[in-house]
Structure 1
């Protein structure tokens, strides 16, 4: 079951595991992490306008010494004027073409006045221009997919969604719709049952499946994602974990009974948040908020300083150098 490729509905192929450079790495350089992922064997790199990691991804690809054709690069539209923002993404990546371009979210903040339908039609123009080999969506529910179907001449090739055993029942209609229309599903944050909700009911069947293979629970969870026919999008800053993820491709697939046991356990939802879990989440959000606030404050200080210099030196007839 070595990780291979999946054929999209437009005939292009896509690797079935991707290294993500998502919001976890916002405000941080990911050049080293992406370079390590490439060295470990990842060829599918996932980024986005909102992540602010496109330049780092481009740098890591250029410095790898590998050919552009060795990579599958995904990025996402995050708001603004579609054509303009797409060109910014290409420039940031240092590429003439991306392999996959997605609408990141179907929210008003992202799609703006054009809405889901109008934004999708702009992506079709990008695909027709040859600057994106494939186009798709992310975080789309049934209503959003149906809106696209009503006006599109190109069916989305991919829908990237948040998927794990605890929300599988909720997301099943989306999975079924995508299967019916040959839309490949990608899953991000599939490790949430382990990283955010440890000690929940899915731990038991995951641990059993892992033990039978001499694998980790993380690997067993990725085997579950793979069993659903879903592409894995994951991330890490350490080589050890990157190699652990890629090794899933060499493990024995889950049996139907094992998949069913994980599905059943997931129906109960994640465990009730403990005080410790809530404290960890609050601390994580607080640290992120402080970082973002610091950047905003610094920007405002620089703006005020610039205006002050302009006012003082302008009045005195002196020139600010």
Structure 2
């Protein structure tokens, strides 16, 4: 039985879960210009294979500072040539870079990217960070949001939201915003249930969908040998138990945990088999649900573990750029 899980946003639009492929992280390039030397052929090939083999709608998460538009553009061209996916079967998220200033303003960003990707609209457009850290940008966050609202009205984007925003950031935005964010994309996992104090509950109460990056970090930490704590061993042991019970992988258990927690998980990997497995598992077993007691135990075990951010060092790096 084929059925894709989706969340209904606060504007009535639906978004597919989990995301099929985040094209940051393992594909991220710090160089601000694409050259033959830093072009990522693996990324292009993985995208093409995803378009060909993934069931249903494909959800791609991108951002200006990932610097992967050339690869994405080439993959989309091949997709069009081979007619793997129609435009309505693609969900494309992009993010405005308010820290490095890849583009001076949202309008320039969107119009440039739409032309480069040969698209008529973006499905979702986010402010990547809750502050402006580049002298290349003369706008405040409130002014950036106002431009995004106009892009929404003009049909260049279909949904707008934010990323890495705290409760305070969202409340400040709300002072001037006419249109409410539909999404707040934050780091979230059982080991990091609140990126900032109270953010999960605030978003739930205000109907702002949390999109979680690094929802599988407990597993990646285990695989990388970065966590030998007793709490970590206990947590992984329980995830292993559930995976055996339901005959699915550990990552599928944590993806299901996120979805049942009303959180949309963003997945990524350089390995195509994992990308397709993560995309297709909800489609192949749409009626699979963890028991309420199992969800509660994952949460309890996650809270017993030291709350840890996979991207803490990365955030610190961006802070140094702001302070320069």
Instruction: Give the TM-score category using the shorter length.
Output: 0.7 to 0.9
Assess if the C-alpha contact under 8 Å between 1:3 and 1:17 holds in 2.
no
Equivalent position SS for 1:10? coil
- Could you tell which deviates more after superposition, 210-219 or 57-66? 57-66
Correspondence 1:50 to 2:50? no
Distance change (3 Å), C-alpha of 1:164 and 1:254: same
Equivalent position SS for 1:108? coil
Residue in structure 1 matched with residue 86 of structure 2 by the alignment: 67
Residue in structure 2 matched with residue 301 of structure 1 by the alignment: none
Rounded to whole Å, the distance in 2 between the matches of 1:233 and 1:244 is 13
Q: CA deviation at 1:88?
A: 2.1
Distance change (3 Å), C-alpha of 1:267 and 1:168: same
Q: CA deviation at 1:261?
A: 1.0
Larger % of helix: which? 1
Distance change (3 Å), C-alpha of 1:138 and 1:271: closer
Assess if the C-alpha contact under 8 Å between 2:7 and 2:15 holds in 1.
yes
Q: CA deviation at 1:155?
A: 0.4
Residue in structure 2 matched with residue 259 of structure 1 by the alignment: 295
Distance change (3 Å), C-alpha of 1:220 and 1:171: farther
Equivalent position SS for 1:151? coil
- Could you tell which deviates more after superposition, 121-130 or 111-120? 111-120
Structure 1 runs of 4+ aligned residues shifted over 6 Å read none
State the number of aligned residues.
Answer: 278
Assess if the C-alpha contact under 8 Å between 2:94 and 2:124 holds in 1.
yes
- Could you tell which deviates more after superposition, 37-46 or 209-218? 37-46
Equivalent position SS for 2:159? strand
Equivalent position SS for 1:6? strand
Structure 2 counterpart of 1:76, from 74, 95, 120: 95
Structure 2 counterpart of 1:213, from 246, 259, 265: 246
Q: CA deviation at 1:253?
A: 1.4
Structure 2 counterpart of 1:148, from 159, 169, 173: 173
Matches within 5 A, 1:175-214: 175-197=200-222, 198-199=227-228, 200=232, 201-214=234-247
Q: CA deviation at 1:68?
A: 1.3
Rounded to whole Å, the distance in 2 between the matches of 1:32 and 1:50 is 21
TM-score, normalised to structure 1, is 0.78
Rounded to whole Å, the distance in 1 between the matches of 2:44 and 2:306 is 34
Assess if the C-alpha contact under 8 Å between 2:126 and 2:163 holds in 1.
yes
Residue in structure 2 matched with residue 13 of structure 1 by the alignment: 14
Rounded to whole Å, the distance in 2 between the matches of 1:93 and 1:46 is 14
Point out where structure 2 has 5 or more consecutive residues left out of the alignment: 30-39, 318-324
Rounded to whole Å, the distance in 2 between the matches of 1:46 and 1:202 is 28
RMSD: 2.8
Rounded to whole Å, the distance in 2 between the matches of 1:8 and 1:170 is 21
Residue in structure 2 matched with residue 108 of structure 1 by the alignment: 132
Rounded to whole Å, the distance in 1 between the matches of 2:306 and 2:78 is 42
Point out where structure 1 has 5 or more consecutive residues left out of the alignment: 273-280, 290-321
Assess if the C-alpha contact under 8 Å between 1:55 and 1:94 holds in 2.
no
Q: CA deviation at 1:268?
A: 2.5
Q: CA deviation at 1:270?
A: 4.3
Assess if the C-alpha contact under 8 Å between 2:163 and 2:186 holds in 1.
yes
Q: Which has the higher contact order (CA 8 A, sep 6+)?
A: 2
Q: CA deviation at 1:58?
A: 3.0
Deviation sequence 1:222-271 (CA, Å, 0-9, x none): 11111111112111233321232134311721111111111111113349
